[in-house]
Every structure is written in structure tokens, then in C-alpha cells.
Amino acid sequence: MRGLSKKKRVLTGKHFMLGNYAVVEGALAAGCDFFAGYPITPANEISERMAARMPAVGGKFLQGEDELCSIYALTGASLAGAKAMTATASAGFNYMQEGIGYAVAAEIPLVIVDVQRCRGENYATQSDVMQMRWAASGDYEMIVLAPSSVQELFDHTIKAFNLAERYRTPVIVMSETTIALMRENLVIPDEKDIEVINRTKPTVPSQEFVPFRADRDATPPLPDFGEGYRILHSLNPHDEWGGISWDPDVFEKMYDRIIGKIARHRDDIVETDGVFLDDAQIVLIAYGSESRPALDAVYQARGNGIKAGLLKLITVWPVPEKEIRAVAEQASVILAVEMNIGKYAGEIERASGGCCDVIRVTKNRGEIHTPDEIYAAIKGVRR
């Protein structure tokens, strides 16, 4: 970490950087000023760099006594006005679900980076893809971004902060051992060219402010602790004033809005990328690092006259329903490429509505697919 204590917040320029470090630089570029984490491989480089970078830019670094401490310290700091992030790996991500559920219900912006690993070991995997969405108890929508490179780890971390602030909700960056521990080129733009969104603050004095009042697809403004608004933030069902209520109407209305503020903005949130989709008959759908061998396989197929294409999911949650449906209506077959037992494939099948076959191309042995393996699956379809 030599020299880092004197560096400024945004390290504009070209770098050859570790994926985990790119996450840190993305967070700083987005305005992160609070980090808490608990040691866990393969996410440690994020904490280590944060420990050097945070104090240098006037932020705070906390090594919590466990993941629960980390996630709740984030919620406290965020309500005090911080832009807060934690990083962990699958086993640690388990422990954080309680705090994520709280942040959803209390509408607290924060960013969680989960560098996925296999149970107990640091094998490459995408096996937490459903846990990202469904692990916390209760009803909620979750925003999850899936970077596939060091550059995207930087870019998507900024995006995650912007979405968290915009929608007052936790946002997850779904990293993987493959990209987290890889070094690649990274270009950090000028500070003025980086879009940074901050939460909206109340525009009326405290006597007139109703803290949880908003339309059913909207996000209410969020003042910081100590600004005189005196707001109760509870997990329990609460009315527009924040008061805990046992009225079923209050319960229903609260969750309708908390879910609606994301679900009804699905089109603003969802991002995908497409390659050769215009005329593709065989479409690969992949996310995260698996989109890289998938792209190679598509090029191989095109080189051999096979009309293959790739739909790369940048947002895995909410599900890019329309984009998947559009592909399903055009293609003869979808290959759902994943580094697990085939989990997200169920979502793809659902979103494609039976318009075409969905074939699962899975690999669950701690290794990323090779392009040849995926190309073989494409050729297998043609036979």
C-alpha cells in the first residue's frame, strides 16, 4: 500500500490493476466515505486498500468483529449521512442477510460487494446468484449488478452507489473470484466525467416533513441524523410518519411502495449488452465472468457460419424480462451459460415464456468455462 496514504480521491488515468482494488477506486470515485468489513478471502484486498485509502480522503475505515457488525455499521453510518460500502465473500455474505433485510425495510442506501466463492474454498463460482436476490427474510426487490472485468468492477461499483442513493436501498455488486483476483487494464476517467448521484434531502422544515410519504413508485427524501428531523427508523411496519403500526393497511402500503419504487422503475434500472443479436438464432445468455468465454464462443461460431449471439446481463436483478423475452421471440434456442448447477436458467425460462427452448450450459467444478466448451455446446445445438 506504499504511497496510497497521499493519493487523492479519484485516480484519473490508465492503470494495470487488481479487480478488488478497482472496486475500491470505483467506490471512492462514487463518493464512498465509510467502509466496514471483516476479513475473508477472496475479498481481503478490498478491505486492505480501503484501510489505506479511507483515512487519506477523510473517510472512516472499520474492521468489524464480524459481518453483522460490518453491515449494521454501514446502516448507521449511512443514516448519519455517509456513502457506505462493505465487501465480503459468500460465507460472510450469509451473515449479512439480516442487515440487508433491515436496510431494505428502513430504506437505507448502501453497497455490498460479494466476491463469490465455493463453500469454504476460493474456487471460482456464480453459485450465490439466487442468494443475492432471495436470502433475506420478508418481501423485497433487490438490485444486483454483475461485472465481468476489472474495468466493470470499477464502473459497476459507481453505478451501485448511484442506484443505492437514487432508490434508498441496498445494492449488491456480484463479484467473482475470477475477476476479483485478476489484473487487467483499467481506465479511470476525469472526476468531472464521472456521474455521481446523491440521495435527495428534504426541502421543507422538520415540522412539515413526513419522512416516509411518497407515491407508490417513489423514494422519499432522507435527511441525515442530527439535522433536526427526529425520525424513527424501524424494521417494523411503519406509517408515513415512521410510527410503528399494527394496521394491515399500513403494512400493505409500506411494502407496496418499497417494492414498487424498484419494480416500477425496472426499465430505468435494467442494463444489458448484446452482441450479434440482430439475426442470432442461437443466443447465449450469460452474466459476470462467464460472459467472456461466451463471447469468445460466439465469435468462433460466427467464424464458422453459425448465427450465434450473446445477451450479456449487466443487471441480474431485477431480471431483464423484456430483453430476455425479445431474444426468446427471435431465437430458435437460448443457451443459459452459468458457473453453477444452473440457477438463473430458471429465470431465463420464465422470462422467455416458452417462446423457445432454453438449454442449460453449466459448469460447477470451481473453474470458469473455456470458450471451447461453450462453442461445443453451440455446435451440439446444430446437430
Partner 1 sequence: MNKNPLIKYLREGSLPHFFCPGCGAAQVLNYFLQAADAVGLNFDKLVAIGGVGCTARIPVYLHADALHGVHGRTLPWATGIKLHNPDLHVVIFAGDGDAAAIGGNHLIQAARRNLDVTMIVVNNLNYAMTGGQVAPTTPEKLRTMTTPFGNAEPRFDLCKLVLAAGATFVSRWSTYRSGQGIQALKKALQHEGFALVEFVAQCPTNFGRRAFGSGDPVKGVQWIEERSVTIEEAKTLSEEALADRFVLGDFVDYKRPVFDGTSIMAQGRE
Q: How far is CA 361 from the centre of its chain?
A: 23
255 part of the interface to partner 1, by CB under 8 A: no
40 part of the interface to partner 1, by CB under 8 A: no
Please report how close the Cβ of residue 218 comes to partner 1 at its closest, in angstroms.
23
Binders of partner 1 among residues 48 to 107 (CB under 8 A) are 51-52, 54-56, 60-66, 68-82, 84, 98-99, 102, 105-106
Which residue in 36, 172, 186, 361 binds partner 1 (CB under 8 A)? 36
Give the cell for residue 172: 449488491
Instruction: Name the residue with cell 467506490.
Output: 27
167 part of the interface to partner 1, by CB under 8 A: no
Q: Which CB atom, from 134 or from 241, has the smaller least distance to partner 1?
A: 241
Q: Which CB atom, from 40 or from 377, has the smaller least distance to partner 1?
A: 40
Please report how close the Cβ of residue 225 comes to partner 1 at its closest, in angstroms.
5
Three-state secondary structure readout of 278-311: CCCCEEEEEEHHHHHHHHHHHHHHHHCCCCEEEE
11 part of the interface to partner 1, by CB under 8 A: no
Q: What is the DSSP string of 319-374?
A: --HHHHHHHHHH-SEEEEEESSSS-THHHHHHHHTTSSEEEEEE--SSSPPPHHHH
Helices 90-106 and 67-79, packing angle to 10 deg: 30
For residue 228, the SS3 value is: coil
39 part of the interface to partner 1, by CB under 8 A: no
Which residue in 3, 120, 248, 354 binds partner 1 (CB under 8 A)? 3
Q: Which CB atom, from 1 or from 278, has the smaller least distance to partner 1?
A: 1
175 part of the interface to partner 1, by CB under 8 A: no
14 part of the interface to partner 1, by CB under 8 A: no
350 part of the interface to partner 1, by CB under 8 A: no
Please report how close the Cβ of residue 268 comes to partner 1 at its closest, in angstroms.
29
Give the cell for residue 248: 394491515
Measured in degrees and rounded to the nearest 5, phi and psi for residue 251 equal: -55, -50
What burial letters (b/e) apply to 331-365, b meaning 16+ CB within 10 Å? bebbbbbbbbebbbbebbbebbeebbebbbbbbbe
Q: How far is CA 270 from the centre of its chain?
A: 11
Binders of partner 1 among residues 180 to 199 (CB under 8 A) are none
231 part of the interface to partner 1, by CB under 8 A: yes
Q: What residues pair up with 116 in beta bridges, in sequence order? A: 176
Q: Provide the mask over 101-140, with x wherever binding to partner 1 is found by CB under 8 A and - wherever it is not.
A: -x--xx----------------------------------
Q: Which CB atom, from 11 or from 285, has the smaller least distance to partner 1?
A: 11
Binders of partner 1 among residues 235 to 254 (CB under 8 A) are 235-236, 241, 243-244
Which residue in 21, 34, 38, 317 binds partner 1 (CB under 8 A)? 34
Which residue in 225, 251, 255, 299 binds partner 1 (CB under 8 A)? 225
d(CA 9, CA 151): 17
Please report how close the Cβ of residue 5 comes to partner 1 at its closest, in angstroms.
5
Please report how close the Cβ of residue 77 comes to partner 1 at its closest, in angstroms.
4
- Span between the terminal Cα atoms of the chain, in Å: 54
Quote the DSSP letter at residue 206.
G
d(CA 82, CA 157): 16
Please report how close the Cβ of residue 135 comes to partner 1 at its closest, in angstroms.
16
Q: What residues pair up with 111 in beta bridges, in sequence order? A: 85, 171
Candidates 79, 155, 109; CA nearest to 262 is 109
Quote the DSSP letter at residue 189.
-
Instruction: Give the interface size with partner 1 as a residue count (CB under 8 A).
Output: 57
Measured in degrees and rounded to the nearest 5, phi and psi for residue 232 equal: -90, 125
Q: Which CB atom, from 69 or from 275, has the smaller least distance to partner 1?
A: 69
Q: Which residues form the interface with partner 1 (CB under 8 A)?
A: 1-6, 33-34, 36, 51-52, 54-56, 60-66, 68-82, 84, 98-99, 102, 105-106, 224-226, 228-236, 241, 243-244
